[in-house]
């Protein structure tokens, strides 16, 4: 079946799709994303035997069950282990030792707030394991959330192959030996890492309903990386307002490579590029 006879998305349908993306994810797309939307939606439309983009718009509007598929298709989920090296150096060499000095005996709570397929959260877990080995009594818990159910399933499985592990194998072979086992043509995260991780679906534009284990326990470290840049300023502000309610006093917020919230008038104060501290005095 040829979708829309092979023609592209008509302008009115494109506007409707962009509005649906914004409604369900907060992501701000422009008309320039037309071919990206075509590429991503076409296989799903074939699967559902829907011949026009307008027909698919109607399906998403009418069928709540289709929304999760739609979200999986329109989100961009690229990630990697230890993405942006200097952030991980900061966490390992500065954040963890200082946090432990200030809060000995406490349990560190970390939130990976747009976790995608899990490379970020297992990078956190590996650092925490290493810190724990040198710091008797140190305990940690990680909550990992994403809006995409498909990504959460990948993160839960913790099986990685291809590009995702090539770089890790090249740069951290000893970590691979310690925290992964061979699985088919890839690697499987060991249970020792997984047992510290709770995964949950969450839309960053809504208040976090933290699983029982994390209820009333604010986070000391929040990774909110490579997701804010998909939103317009109004949505960025709303996300930061929501995230702030889940942060402990003096918690650190870590952003992605090219992101900054300076100028957004949030309760988070610049500490250094990509790293912010929650200002508890802020209104
Ligand atoms: C590019 S990935 C970032 C992954 C990881 N944080 C990193 O920096 O490598 C962006 C993730 O944000 C998620 N996302 C997009 N909109 C979201 C929303 N409104 N709420 C929660 N997650 C969202 C996507 O599903 C995707 O997995």
265 vs 181: which has the higher pLDDT: 181
CA 179/CA 169 separation, integer angstroms: 12
Looking at residues 36-42, what average pLDDT do you find?
97
Residue 148 C-alpha to ligand 1 middle, in angstroms? 8
CA 125/CA 107 separation, integer angstroms: 13
Which tokens go with 84?
């942006």
CATH class of 85-278: alpha beta
Tell me which residues have their CB closer than 6 angstroms to ligand 1: 25-27, 75-79, 83, 114, 116, 120, 146-148, 151, 202-205, 225-227, 230, 256
Output phi, psi for 81, to 5 deg.
-65, 140
Looking at residues 37-59, what average pLDDT do you find?
97
Provide the pLDDT for residue 278.
Answer: 87
Convert the pLDDT of each residue in 68-92 to its tens digit: 999 999 999 999 999 999 999 999 9
**Listed residue (146, 151, 143, 165) closest to 212, CA to CA:** 143
Looking at residues 269-281, what average pLDDT do you find?
87
Q: Is residue 282 over pLDDT 80?
A: no
Convert the pLDDT of each residue in 116-133 to its tens digit: 999 999 999 999 999 999
Pocket test for ligand 1, best of 116, 151, 205, 209 (most atoms within 8 A of CB): 116
Provide the pLDDT for residue 281.
Answer: 65
Please name the residue ranges forming H helices in the chain.
11-25, 34-48, 53-62, 64-74, 85-89, 96-102, 119-134, 149-157, 163-171, 173-179, 191-194, 233-244
Residue 207 C-alpha to ligand 1 middle, in angstroms? 16
Provide the pLDDT for residue 5.
Answer: 63
Pocket test for ligand 1, best of 23, 73, 114 (most atoms within 8 A of CB): 114
The domain spans of the chain are 3-74, 85-278
Provide the pLDDT for residue 17.
Answer: 98
Which tokens go with 74?
């329109």
Residue 98 C-alpha to ligand 1 middle, in angstroms? 28
Looking at residues 257-267, what average pLDDT do you find?
85
Residue 117 C-alpha to ligand 1 middle, in angstroms? 9
Q: Could you tell me the pLDDT band of residue 280, with boundaries at 50, 70 and 90? A: low
Convert the pLDDT of each residue in 139-171 to its tens digit: 999 999 999 999 999 999 999 999 888 989 999
**Percentage of the chain modeled with pLDDT above 70:** 98
**Percentage of the chain modeled with pLDDT above 90:** 84
Provide the pLDDT for residue 283.
Answer: 63
CA 112/CA 258 separation, integer angstroms: 18
> Which residues are paired to 189 by β-bridges?
180
CA 247/CA 92 separation, integer angstroms: 20
Query: Which H helix or E strand runs over 6?
Result: none
Residue 88 C-alpha to ligand 1 middle, in angstroms? 19
Convert the pLDDT of each residue in 168-205 to its tens digit: 999 999 999 999 999 988 999 999 999 999 999 999 99
Fold type of domain 3-74: Chemotaxis Receptor Methyltransferase Cher; domain 1 (1.10.155)
């Amino acid at each position: 079946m040829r979708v829309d006879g092979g023609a592209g998305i008509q302008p009115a349908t494109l506007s409707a799709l962009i509005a649906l993306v914004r409604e369900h994810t907060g992501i701000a797309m422009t008309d320039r994303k037309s071919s990206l939307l075509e590429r991503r939606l076409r296989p799903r439309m074939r699967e559902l035997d829907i011949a026009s983009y307008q027909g698919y718009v109607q399906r998403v509007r009418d069928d709540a069950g289709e929304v999760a598929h739609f979200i999986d298709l329109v989100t961009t989920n690229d990630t990697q282990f230890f993405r942006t090296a200097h952030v991980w150096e900061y966490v390992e060499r500065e954040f963890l030792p200082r946090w432990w000095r200030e809060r000995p005996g406490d349990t560190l709570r970390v939130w990976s707030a747009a976790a995608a397929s899990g490379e970020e959260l297992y990078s956190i877990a590996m650092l925490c394991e290493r810190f724990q080995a040198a710091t008797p009594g140190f305990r940690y818990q990680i909550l990992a959330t994403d809006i995409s159910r498909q990504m959460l399933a990948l993160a839960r499985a913790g099986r990685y192959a291809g590009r995702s592990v090539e770089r890790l194998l090249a740069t951290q072979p000893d970590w691979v030996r310690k925290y992964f086992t061979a699985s088919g043509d890839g690697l499987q995260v060991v249970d020792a890492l997984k047992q510290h991780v709770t995964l949950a679906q969450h839309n960053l534009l809504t208040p976090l309903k933290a699983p029982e284990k994390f209820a009333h326990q604010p986070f000391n470290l929040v990774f909110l990386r490579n997701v804010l840049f998909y939103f317009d300023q109004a949505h960025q502000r709303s996300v930061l307002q929501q995230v702030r309610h889940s942060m402990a006093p003096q918690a650190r917020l870590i952003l992605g490579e090219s992101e900054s919230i300076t100028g957004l008038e949030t309760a988070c104060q610049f500490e250094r590029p990509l790293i912010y501290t929650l200002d508890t005095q802020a209104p």
